[in-house]
């Protein structure tokens, strides 16, 4: 699910603009889709989302040659249709994000966290290997923003080796993120010193786009991870976990489960960043160290 500012909106490859009269989603069937989607990813679609769900699945039905939502529900609930369930989740979740979104987090990293890491490394109290997880990375702007920050402040010549895992539940946006190519209009989101160093302006057939430099791509890897799963296909712990504007789409039960999964992969001295509209009241294992930045209570202050 996504993930960085992933307010549900009409995705380009799943929604339709024209009305399709033959498709309808009766209340009973909508309830079944609600439960299926919740069990798959922890997102609960309220009754007001019935028309939205219908419009987002309509094109998929047409692609598959199905004429009713009941047919699609029977298909997507077959045990061997995990791929189609993934496609369904692609249709109902969408992602809007920006480079250096919520800049106070990046300022906090540059002014407080990174200098602390440098002092600890010089004192022999930490390794220069840095492990970061962007959980709900959308189309890649967030992990690439972090990569720019790390390459600027933590040089390879000094022995720093940052690695970023960027994950999302949507295979569609992960494919876009791996391409590392963005509309040139997004250049206005990137501070000039980063833009000059880490983005390449497209020419000829690529005019109107910009591309991430290879140095950034080398330190970011992408993977599909469902945060609502009982376990995650990741190993070890992370110095930083960015899970921003994701938790607002879970109910209390789902949020508790997701947080427990994230905390399991947070290093003893690691930091968890959430969105500025998200608050983790009642998170027993975490303490607030800065606005929307959390550490384990067991970690030294």
Catalytic positions, written as ranges: 56, 168
Look up residue 234 and give its DSSP letter. Answer: -
Q: Is 213 exposed, middle or buried (0-12, 13-18, 19+ CB in 10 A)?
A: middle
- The token duo for 170 is 């949507």
Three-state helix/strand/coil letters over 169-188: CCHHHHHHHHHCEEEHHHHH
Look up residue 230 and give its DSSP letter. Answer: S
In angstroms, the CA 224 to CA 59 distance is: 23
Q: Are 135 and 188 in contact (CB under 8 A)?
A: no
Q: Are 166 and 140 in contact (CB under 8 A)?
A: yes
- The token duo for 240 is 């930083």
HSE (side-chain half, CA atoms, 13 Å) at 66: 17
Query: Torsion angle, CA of 109/114/117/118, rounded to 10 degrees?
Result: -170
The CA–CA distances, whole Å, from 169 to 136, 140, 210, 226, 285 equal: 7, 13, 25, 5, 25
Q: How far apart are the first and last CA of the chain?
A: 32
């Amino acid at each position: 699910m996504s993930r960085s500012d992933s307010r549900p909106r009409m995705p380009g490859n799943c929604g339709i603009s024209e009305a399709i009269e033959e498709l309808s989603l009766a209340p009973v069937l909508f309830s079944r889709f609600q439960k299926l989607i919740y069990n798959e990813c922890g997102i609960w679609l309220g009754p007001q989302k019935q028309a939205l769900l219908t419009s987002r699945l309509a094109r998929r039905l047409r692609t598959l040659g199905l004429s009713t939502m009941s047919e699609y529900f029977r298909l997507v609930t077959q045990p061997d249709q995990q791929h189609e369930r993934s496609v369904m989740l692609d249709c109902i979740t969408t992602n809007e994000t920006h480079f250096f979104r919520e800049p106070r987090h990046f300022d906090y990293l540059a002014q407080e966290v990174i200098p602390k890491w440098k002092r600890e490394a010089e004192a022999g109290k930490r390794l220069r290997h840095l492990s970061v997880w962007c959980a709900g990375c959308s189309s890649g702007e967030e992990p690439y923003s972090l990569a720019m920050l790390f390459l600027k402040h933590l040089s390879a010549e000094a022995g720093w080796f940052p690695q970023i895992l960027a994950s999302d539940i949507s295979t569609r946006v992960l494919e876009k993120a791996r391409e590392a190519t963005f509309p040139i209009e997004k250049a206005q989101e990137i501070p000039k010193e980063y833009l000059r160093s880490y983005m390449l302006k497209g020419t000829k057939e690529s005019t109107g786009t910009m591309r991430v430099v290879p140095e950034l791509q080398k330190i970011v890897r992408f993977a599909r991870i469902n945060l609502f799963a009982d376990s995650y296909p990741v190993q070890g712990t992370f110095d930083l976990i960015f899970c921003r504007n994701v938790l607002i789409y879970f109910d209390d039960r789902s949020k508790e489960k997701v947080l427990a999964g994230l905390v399991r992969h947070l290093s003893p001295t690691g930091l968890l960043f959430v969105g500025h509209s998200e608050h983790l009241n009642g998170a027993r294992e975490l303490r607030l160290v800065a606005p929307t930045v959390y550490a384990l209570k067991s970690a030294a202050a």
